[in-house]
Every structure is written in C-alpha cells, then in structure tokens.
Amino acid sequence: MSASNNINITLKVWRQKNAQSKGQLESYDLKNVSTDSSFLEMLDQLNEELINEGKSPVTFDHDCREGICGACSLYINGRPHGPGNRVTTCQLHMRSFKDGETIYVEPWRAAAFPVIKDLMTDRSSFDRIQHAGGYVSVNTSGNTQDANALPIEKENADKAFDAATCIGCGACVAACKNASASLFVAAKVSQYALLPQGQVEAKDRVLNMVKQAQKEGFGPCSNTGACEVECPKGISLENIARMNREYLAASLSK
C-alpha cells in the first residue's frame, strides 16, 4: 500500500479505571494508519503499540464488527459512532478522517450506562428493559403455526421489521440531552405492537418496559429528534409516538 493511503493522527482517548475512578483524556500519536482500516482496527493498531511499549491497552467493546451487535458504541468527535450517517463504529473507516487530524474518543455519557473501563460501558440496563416485557408468550416451538396462516398487512409487517432492526447500541441515549431511552424502548414495543403475536402481553409490555426504563435512570424524551438522526439503523420517531399511544391506552385500561 502506498504512503498516500496512510495517515498520521492524534488520538485523545478517555481512560478510566472503573466507574468509581476519575477518568481523563490521554493523548496518543498514531502513524501510518491505513485509510482502508476500520475505526476499531485503528484502535487495535494503537493497542498493539501500547502493549509493545509495556503499557495498558485501551479497553473498548466489540463483537461482530459487521454493524449487527451494537457493541462497538463510541462517542467520536462529539457524535455517537462518529461522522457519517447510519453507520456503527465498526463500519466507520479511517478514510473519513484527514491526515494530521485530532480525534476525540469517549464512552457513552449516561448515568444508566456506567463506565466499566476506559471506553467500555455497562449497557445491561437495556437487557433489563427487554426482560421486563420484550417477549411473546405464543408457543413458537413444537407445533408451530405456519406463518402464511396468519395474514398480516404489509404496511404493519414492514414497520414491525423496521423497528426490529434496532441493535440496542445506545446511540439514541448518547445523542439525547436527557439521556432518554425512548427510541430504544419504542422500537422494542413497536416490533410486537404491530403484530398479532404481540397482542397477548401488549398492555403489560408497554407499562413494564417504560417503568423499567425510568427505574434504570433514563431521562424523558427531549423531543429534539437527535436520537433518530444518530441511530445507525434509522429507527423512526414514529415509534415513540406509537409507544406513547400504547402506554396511554394501557394506563387507562388498568
């Protein structure tokens, strides 16, 4: 690879021992970074150099590196998942940055996402929200009903599928000035609310999931729409409106 395809950058990386420790930005100069490498591959390069120097590598979360799992949640230059639209951090490539650029890398900033170490945060609050109601009691094993035996309007099926593409990365929370999880909760509510299989627990689902989100310490919806803009899957604000309608109807029926 020619030198013209490599860049030199300065990284300002958040280093923090644990949730109780006081963190700070530390500076690293990284040379000969391929513009074809992903952002996570660049962090791998940094860690390799740190290890070779006998220093502690930067802790960051990752798994599939294909934009599916949502684990690679980083705040890059003031934006969740960095520059570009509808990409996760692992899908962000270094060609998005310029030679000599200074790049700030931080973890999600939300009380409900405490720092585990460095850039890794604890997002198990999302798991607890889903456990509160993100399931169906319909028997899906054994004598499963044929899907074609239950007609569903295409518009509803498409909207349910779109909502189900949420990967739970937490970019919506990171983008919201109130650290609200409304878009995440709404997506999980919508993917069931739009389908007949989800009607059995519909009322309890929305009440329990919203209650759990509040219990976890997420703030109220700010109504600014930043969550939709920064969502790597483009989850629509329409889902929040649907969640609010579901919540109101369920509350009145109790």
- Bridge-based pairing of strands 75-76 and 102-106 is antiparallel
Q: Is the distance from CB of 178 to CB of 150 less than 8 angstroms?
A: no
* pLDDT level of residue 1 (50, 70, 90 thresholds): very low
Question: Residue 167: pLDDT above 60?
Answer: yes
Query: Both tokens of residue 105?
Result: 């890398």
Long-range contacts of 93-96 (CB under 8 A, 24+ apart): 93/35, 93/36, 93/37, 93/38, 93/39, 94/7, 94/9, 94/33, 94/34, 94/35, 94/36, 94/37, 94/38, 94/39, 94/42, 95/35, 95/36
Spell out the residues 6+ positions from residue 131 whose beta carbon is closer than 8 angstroms to its own: 212
Question: What is the mean predicted confidence (pLDDT) over 214-230?
Answer: 97
Q: Span 52-59, mean pLDDT?
A: 98
Q: Is the dihedral of CA 42, 43, 48, 49 positive or negative?
A: positive
Question: What is the predicted pLDDT for the residue at 211?
Answer: 98
For position 173, what pLDDT does the model report? 98
Residue 2: what pLDDT? 46
Q: pTM higher than 0.85 for the full model?
A: yes
The average pLDDT across 127-139 equals 89
| Residue 159 backbone phi and psi in degrees, to 5 | -70, -40
| Rounded average pLDDT over 120-137 | 94
- Domains detected in the chain: 3-117 (3.10.20.30), 123-253 (1.10.1060.10)
Confidence of residue 145 (pLDDT cuts 50, 70, 90): confident
Identify the band that residue 80 occupies on the pLDDT scale cut at 50, 70 and 90.
very high
**What is the Cα 171 distance to its own chain's centre?**
4
Burial class (CB in 10 A: 0-12, 13-18, 19+), 75: buried
The DSSP call for residue 217 is T
Residue 206, Ramachandran bin (φ over 0: left; ψ between -120 and 50: alpha; else beta): alpha
DSSP 145: P
